[in-house]
Amino acid sequence: MDNRVNVTFLLIDGYVELHKYRYLYFMIMLTVYILIICSNSTIVYLIWNHQNLHEPMYIFIAALLINSVLFSTATYPKLLIDFLSEQQIISYLGCLVQGYVYYTLASSEFLLLAAMSYDRYVSICKPLQYQTIMTKTNVNVLLVVAWLVPTCQGAVLFVFNAKIKLCAFTLKGIICNSTFQTLHCERSTVLNVGGLVVLTNVMICPTIFVLFTYTRIFIIAYRSCREVRRKAAQTCLPHLIVLINFSSLTIYDVLLLRMTEFPKIVRFIMTLQMLMYHPLLNPIIYGLKMKEIYKHLKIFFRKMF
């Protein structure tokens, strides 16, 4: 195998006993992927189809669920192919593209959660101004920003990654996440600084903003009547659960690059959790905990069965 081929293709070496459990892995991941698509798409359909769900809060939830489907689609088809392949490889460009899409959508998740927290803050803390602040135009602007900012920032990092020379060609993982940078011949200062800037913009700042707004909401709700407290708990707790879950998985992904001695089995299990747990959790949380969505969901399943 010549140097040109070595540079073009990377060996994926993160699977555990794939030769023994390949068909089990395939069936489990295929089932999960179908569940992710069906569950998320069902709630998006309900929000789109019912006029009383055409409110900012539900629109942001639909955007979050669409994000989950796209996030899964960026990784699952390649995993399913790898499970049945004799050799698990990915092209250099393909790995860059997968990592770009993976991190762009993950970043959008934080910005969408921040937009949702702002919507809840205005709804509970400034109810008289809600209609004038959360207009259709402002909602659209928040959605565009949530997807456009990570797309542009990720594109810059994509270009820098594409220009860096590789000295290793074995990926210690099953997807092209932060472990890809361990293949570089040397750590790039520009890439490290750029990554820190992106991390601050799309994870740290949105998370601080969410915690700040929800703190304000709970303080005001605590001082208000029982109905306000109930409304705050009903609409804010699902968002907080999703934020805590996704933040924990993202922190693991950030640490993965710096803790090179992670046991292979731990890397494998944690990566599967990132790919399976969160996209499945979102429709469960919002489908069962949001009263209006749950009501339409029950009617939908009654008609189906």
What does R_g of the chain's alpha carbons equal in angstroms? 21
pLDDT at 4 over 80: no
* Secondary structure percentages of the chain, helix, strand, coil, to 5: 80, 5, 15
Q: Are 90 and 12 in contact (CB under 8 A)?
A: yes
Cα–Cα dist 18/272, whole Å = 14
How would residue 6 be classed by pLDDT, with cut points 50, 70 and 90?
very low
**Domain boundaries in the chain?**
3-304
Nearest to 37 by CA among 81, 69, 5, 74: 69
More confident residue, 289 or 108: 108
pLDDT at 259 over 70: no
Confidence (pLDDT) at 257? 59
Please give the backbone phi and psi of residue 195, each rounded to the nearest 5 degrees, phi first: -65, -40
More confident residue, 259 or 91: 91
Confidence (pLDDT) at 282? 87
Looking at domain 3-304, its CATH class is: mainly alpha
Give the mean pLDDT of 282-288.
84
Most confident range, picked from 77-91, 183-197, 214-228, 254-268: 77-91
The bridge status of strand 9-12 relative to strand 89-91 is antiparallel
| Both structure tokens of 57 | 């809060």
